[in-house]
Amino acid sequence: MSIFLIKILKKFLLLYLLSYLFLMLVFGIFLVITTPDVKDWKSKHPQKTSYMKYREKDKNYLKIRNKVFYKWIPLSQVPDLMQKTIIVSEDASFWSHEGIDWYEIRESLKKNIREGGFLRGGSTITQQVARNLYLSPEKNVGRKIREWVITKELEKSLTKSEILELYINIAEWGYNIFGINAASQYYFQKSPQELTLNEMIRLAAVLPNPLDMKPNQLKRSVLWRSKVILERLRKFEYIDAAQYEDSLSELDSLFMG
């Protein structure tokens, strides 16, 4: 290769590198400018989330249910066992990680590559709060980066209990059903304080796919997820052997009936 071509190639590579660095700088500035101030959630709760607004624009979604069920409840009024059931279902290391569970992300990537599709998400509860509050269900790299940035802000500005309170209240539990208060009343005609262990488990079981799975409809997918959660509750000693056996028997009898 001639010296002239080598010089041209070097200039091209330098220009490419500078352009890349410039774009990264612009994107970084954009992230800083558009990152919301999450400290507000220490003293107030959201009236309407970005997820709710996104759903309002989906005509097919609204055909199924256009009335929003959403009523805030303090974390102190959510049974401790309900909180633990949700955590073991969605993010077992919630209390120990700093917003992003890198181990879970690695395992999710391995499974998705092995199975050839997007089958496992690996999002923590904090990431889901960031997405529900400010973003949308759409999957792309830009949205994921923004989600991570907001997640770190939430972890820096709020306590774990405040993040959990947000999640339990804004998580989607079905078409236009948001939060544990609305979900328990809609599906079981009870307040969260009145839920049985079996009902808590079934509510947590549908969280990964709330538009296709319903806690009061006895599908095999709900049974499988419910048993996984029940096993985790026993593993972490949140329930005793008698509670485990009683709930397992109840689940089997429900799905056989």
Stated length of the chain: 257
**Whether residue 163 has pLDDT greater than 50:** yes
Q: Are 78 and 183 in contact (CB under 8 A)?
A: no
Please indicate, yes or no, if residue 171 is contained in any of the structural domains: yes
The residue ranking higher by pLDDT, 31 or 159, is: 159
Please indicate, yes or no, if residue 190 is contained in any of the structural domains: yes
CA–CA distance, 116 with 107 (Å, rounded to integer)? 14
**Whether residue 31 has pLDDT greater than 90:** no
Q: Which domain holds residue 160?
A: 46-216
pLDDT given for residue 139 in this prediction: 80
Residues 6+ apart with CB under 8 A from 85: 200, 201, 203, 204, 229, 233, 238
Please indicate, yes or no, if residue 15 is contained in any of the structural domains: no
CATH of the domain at 91: 1.10.3810.10
Q: Virtual CA dihedral for 105, 109, 110, 115, nearest 10 degrees?
A: 140
pLDDT given for residue 21 in this prediction: 57
**Whether residue 120 has pLDDT greater than 50:** no
Q: Are 140 and 101 in contact (CB under 8 A)?
A: no
pLDDT given for residue 136 in this prediction: 86
14-23, 146-155, 223-232, 236-245 — which is least confidently predicted? 14-23
Per-residue model confidence as pLDDT tens digits over 176-189: 999 999 999 999 99
Domain count, the chain: 1
pTM more than 0.85 = no
Per-residue model confidence as pLDDT tens digits over 193-250: 999 999 999 999 999 999 999 999 878 899 999 999 999 999 999 999 999 999 999 9
Please indicate, yes or no, if residue 129 is contained in any of the structural domains: yes
CA–CA distance, 249 with 218 (Å, rounded to integer)? 15
Please indicate, yes or no, if residue 230 is contained in any of the structural domains: no
Please indicate, yes or no, if residue 32 is contained in any of the structural domains: no
